[in-house]
Amino acid sequence: MQNGGANRKPRSDKKRDVKPTVSINLKKQLKTFAELCDEPVKDVAEKLCKDGATSKVIIDDICKWFRKNYLYSNTLVVGDAERPKLKVNIVGESDTVTFRLKRDDYDVLDDLAHALDLTPTTTAGVLIKVTLYNVEFMQQYAQDHLMHLSDKQKKDIDVFLNKLWGFKK
């Protein structure tokens, strides 16, 4: 008698867990943003990482840390092995943000992690922080993912992001 599921092929659309460690403050900001967007934190974190890993704005922002070459959207960003390695130090308390990525999206994150000479999990944490604090990226994110929200919700998100970025209104 054979074990029924022992020889099955894995699903082609199987997702991989990603659990970056971030500061408590960043997690609170991500949670607040997700609540304003009416979405779970895991979905917002997934979208930020997925979009950030292929965004020209974000890649231009973090390419100063590339130690290896990175290819995205038919663009090659040349890395330099002599650059100092990016060190991610979390001051104070930290916590994890858990989300899942499809295989293709995880592979893009893994390629970016290779260019940064970091683990995919650490790279996801860097992407969450860099994307949330990048004005141009978040404006594009709002256009791509938040147009279905009411005007009041959009205004609340705008006020939150301006406060996050240090703008006074």
Chain CA centroid to CA 99, Å: 10
For residue range 60-78, what is the model confidence (pLDDT) as tens digits?
Answer: 999 999 999 999 888 899 9
Q: Taking phi first (over 0 means left), then psi (-120 to 50 degrees means alpha), and beta for anything else, what does residue 55 get?
A: beta
| CA torsion through residues 65, 70, 75, 79, sign | positive
Give the contacts of 84 (CB within 8 A, at least 6 positions apart): none
Q: What is the mean pLDDT of the chain?
A: 91
Q: Where are the domains of the chain?
A: 15-146
Task: Answer with the residue of higher pLDDT: 47 or 166.
Answer: 47
CA atoms within 13 A on the CB side of 14: 6
> pLDDT at position 168, please?
57
Amino acid at 38: D
pLDDT mean over 143-151: 92
